[in-house]
Chain A
């Protein structure tokens, strides 16, 4: 079974306490429809598990299949500079069907990001290397498509419907 090659660190985007018993890590692509399906399921799991769960998101854009995936990943990283990573992450998934450059600008405006900095980050591809680093770390960990989940560092090779995922998470909380 594959395991996480790059341990969770302070550089990661995480929701929940570092002391949580269970860490669910997703390698995801903002334009991947399956990741879009997983998005509300993760919200549900988070609500049910509360403080017992920490959720970490890393970028895994499949750029050849999804033309906006890379741009979206860089946009979310740029939003993180203003402390709005999760707001951007959520908005991208909630508006996945109409993902585009304009949609991302609109979200950035609504979130109150520093727009001139955001535009410059996107233009200069400031977070390209960051996203690539996430991607290659994922490849080395055995990420085999998106979404790919790791629970406490072990790849989750089972389905990720609410029931299966929450049962798997619960089995680590013992």
Chain B
């Protein structure tokens, strides 16, 4: 205890002050977002403006549901993000497992393709995407949005999971195989439970990425009630008298859950995003 106290030097204090200041800087816009979301409309446009709300208008969080179609935005976001996540999981687990356990012809090119797709953003390909979706007559459909979100997030899941599978000794599975399990059963009963942190990370990352996706949804979704929340809320901006208080209640509702999810997988994020080449 006493040695701990002695260790606090001037340098350490400077580190702490510096770190807390930076932390505040990163959260500041979101604090501002929150404070704006509990101000009244009149107060928002009053000059001079104020840092803190004069009256804390918590009612905004109830009124927003009647004043903006955020219930349907959130519903769309949930449908698309959950479905895309499930699709990614179904497709990536077998692929990741196979490339970590087997060597086959074209394995190298396949890995290359996966990694390359992680780097291609939908933005650059948006015209091609639009025309393809139009070709399948799937414009303004959840299905197209789900498949596209899954496709662009598949690479992260495959990289992350194959890293996890590779680190699990084959001997553990072999024991299961000797006991009469098939490869698939060994994967399901032995390997997947051990790789659970990887699965959770892949699930959360995909969900958050799909939740935040903007460009594709902006381009292919046209019905108001089918727009996911990042696209839906941009409609507030076009209005003459922007209801900033409702805009920011909506964004707070949309942001808080994904920040918590991301914090919970912080440890594993970097590995998947950098193809394991850093961590």
Partners in one complex: no
Q: Which residues of B contact A (CB under 8 A)?
A: none
